[in-house]
Amino acid sequence: MLKFIDLFAGAGGLSEGFIREGFEPVAHVEIDKHACDTLQTRIAYHFLKKSKQKKFYNQYLMGKISRDSLLKKIPEFLVQSVINSEISEKNIKTIFTRIDEIENHCCMGYKNNIKLIVNCAHHPNQIITSNSINHIQNGQTIYVIDVAVPYGFPRRRILQV
């Protein structure tokens, strides 16, 4: 199973497409708290569906259990895989250290399983450079799918880093 990191994730629409195609998210990084809440709720949905416990998600939708109760039904590392943070030069190393910790936990110690980084920035200054991902690369090929929309014009490109 291919694993990916979603940077500038928003509410996770692009991640949903990758998940539906069989990719597994390792982490989502997003500055907006409300979008992070949505990401965690979707993670709960996918986990509960996969583990045949979707009834808890349905109870949440019907208002029978709180969001906090819903999130307690899934492993804590999945909740923590949503990183509510700005991505900047001053904290990029901290963010990728957290992603490494998540990857080590979720992937049972199999380091460097990440093959794809999704960059869905909507601002030209929020583009992840090859220098930002060098420490997780470890000699392997990592693909960056950049779906940035600078100045309102869609741009798609696939880069081999």
Q: pLDDT tens digits for 96-105?
A: 888 888 877 6
* For residues 84-93, average pLDDT: 85
Of 100 and 136, the one with more pLDDT: 100
- Provide the pLDDT for residue 31: 92
Total domains in the fold of the chain: 1
What is the CATH number for 139? 3.40.50
Domain carrying residue 132: 3-160
d(CA 119, CA 148): 7
Q: What is the pTM of this model?
A: 0.74
Where on the phi/psi map is residue 110: left (φ > 0), alpha (ψ -120 to 50), or beta?
A: beta
Q: Are 30 and 84 in contact (CB under 8 A)?
A: yes
Where on the phi/psi map is residue 136: left (φ > 0), alpha (ψ -120 to 50), or beta?
A: alpha
Residue 127: both structure tokens together: 């583009």
